[in-house]
Structure formats: C-alpha cells, structure tokens
Amino acid sequence: MDAVWLILTSVGTTAGVVAATAGVVGTAHNLRRSREARAAPSRAAPAPPGSPAPASPPAGAHGTAGPPPGGASRDERDVFVAYSRDDETWVRDLAVRLEAAGFTVWLDAWDVGEGEVFVERIEAGIRRARNALMVIGARTPDEPLTRQEYAALMTRSIERGLRFIPVVRGAGEVPVFLATRRCVDFRDPAPFEERFDVLVRALRGERPARV
C-alpha cells in the first residue's frame, strides 16, 4: 500500500507541474498576442460589395493648386475706345449703348483700377481688342495720351488688321491718316440712333444699310 501511495503521489505532483507550466505558457502567449495587436496599425473593415468608392477631395484641396483666378482673357473685348477727357460723358453713354447692343467694351474709366499702371492697362486693352474706336472731339489732338493711343491703334491696324473706326462728334477734326477711313460722323444732322446703327453695322463687319 505504501508503494502504491507513493506512486500516486508522484503522478499527482507531476500532473500539477505540467498544468502549472501549461498555464504559464498560455499566459505568455496571450500577453504576446495582446502586444502585437496594440503595435499593429488599425485597418478599416472592407466595404460591402456595391458600396460607392470614397469621394476624392475637390481640386485645390490639401495643397493642390486649383485654376488661377482671372486669366489671360481679362482684357479681351470686342471694342477698345480711345477718347479725350472732354468727351468722357458722351463716350460713357456710347459704351453703355454698345454693350446693350451685345458688344464688350474696353474703356479706361471701367477697366483701369486703383493702384494699376495706367499705360500698361491701356496697352493690354489695345493688344486684346478685336475692334477699336477713336472718338474725335474738339480737344482730342491736344491730349498727349490720346495721340499715343492713336499712334498705337493706327500701327496695329496697319500691321495686324485691327478694324479701326473714327467716330467724330462736336467740332472734331479727323487726323490726316485716319481720314483715309470712312468715319461714323455724329455731327451729321441725322438722328443719333441712325448714326449708332451705322456704327453697329461697321463693328459687325456688315455693309451699310441700303436706303
């Protein structure tokens, strides 16, 4: 009996040691898995089939430059108007009527902003214009800037084919070179609207109306 008891006692002790060892190993394994889970980066669950793809950020977001403001076409106009300061009120009215007729108009009173270089803006307007008017009043030949505009427009007309139309009002006298072109003469006793219709036809490249 003593021998049997010793054998059973030995077996029980051995089983206890094995169980304890297994417990320690299991605990260590669980600790290692927990550390690995914390260290691993989180992953989003995959979207179910048929779900829409995530929206892309709009252009210009996250430092990506969008289209620049404004653009090279800022000064593109159907008509550039050169004039003397003495004729400004009359010219503004003419420009408003032209825009109402469907033309875009470059006028320094409208297109040169505070702080901008006056001459540079005028040069840009001349370069981008498809047609040009020279409003000739009594004081037009006396203004240095108007004479410079006349020279630039005449040169561009000769070299680039710019349609350049003289518009005469009041006591204006057409310069010699410009007088080679048929002008729209608002000194004519005909009604303003009739002369304006002649100007619109000329800007559109249409032949004069047959009366």
Q: What is the per-residue pLDDT across 109-135, written as a single tens digit (0 to 9) for each?
A: 898 888 888 889 999 999 999 999 999
Task: Give the pLDDT of residue 189.
Answer: 79
Residue 171: pLDDT over 80: yes
Task: Give the pLDDT of residue 152.
Answer: 94
If you ran DSSP here, which 8-state letter would residue 64 be given? -
Give every CB contact of residue 158 below 8 A, 6+ residues apart in sequence. none
Task: Give the pLDDT of residue 72.
Answer: 45
133 vs 164: CA distance, rounded Å: 6
For the segment(s) 75-203, the CATH number from 2.60.130.10, 3.30.70.980, 3.40.50.10140, 3.30.830.10 is: 3.40.50.10140
Q: Which backbone phi and psi does 132 adopt, to 5 degrees?
A: -140, 145
Residue 64: pLDDT over 60: no
Task: Give the pLDDT of residue 210.
Answer: 65
Helix (H, G, I), strand (E, B) or coil at 124: helix
What share of the chain in percent tops pLDDT 90? 44
141 — pLDDT class (breaks 50, 70, 90): confident
